[in-house]
Amino acid sequence: MWSFRKPSPMLRLLRWHKDFMRGLNPDRSDGHPECGWYRMQKTKNGPWVPVKIWCEQITDENGCLEQPERLRADVFGEDEDAEKIWTWLTPVSRTEYKELWDFRLKNQHRYDNHRAIDLADEPTAPMIG
């Protein structure tokens, strides 16, 4: 039977990402993703895609977890397995994540996440940030 407990605090969930952004070089274990903001290329030489890893916490009216917490990954609006993509992620700041998201929204008609891009054929203005 599932034991009732409080959800993990957000500060603890984001500790690894915060330490990485501070340059503290925290340990990174394959298959053990950490909450935070990232970017990845879904294909070699493909466009950068914004990724967010977050902890799903389903709670009752008392704030106790109803089921185990689960890490989820949002890859530019698509749900993906956080454990499978973890190795391919590059941490970025929350601001960089938001800028990449906005850039991709403005230019999504030009980029296919699964196709390499050649900037000589498809020049684009650089991201500001």
Q: Give the model's pLDDT for residue 110.
A: 58
Q: Give the model's pLDDT for residue 2.
A: 47
Residue 117 has pLDDT above 60, yes or no: no
Q: What percent of the chain has pLDDT over 90?
A: 60
Residue 62 has pLDDT above 70, yes or no: yes
CB 100 within 8 A of CB 94: no
Report the mean per-residue pLDDT for the chain: 85
Q: Give the model's pLDDT for residue 42.
A: 87
**Tens-place pLDDT, residues 1-60:** 445 589 999 999 999 999 999 999 899 988 899 999 999 998 888 889 999 999 999 999
Tell me if residue 91 falls in helix, strand or coil: strand
Q: Give the model's pLDDT for residue 129.
A: 47
What is the residue extent of each domain of the chain? 10-107
Segment of 41-45, 111-115, 122-126 carrying the highest mean pLDDT? 41-45
Q: Per-residue b/e over 117-126, b at no fewer than 16 CB within 10 Å?
A: beeeeeeeee
Q: Give the model's pLDDT for residue 47.
A: 85
Q: What is the pTM of this model?
A: 0.79
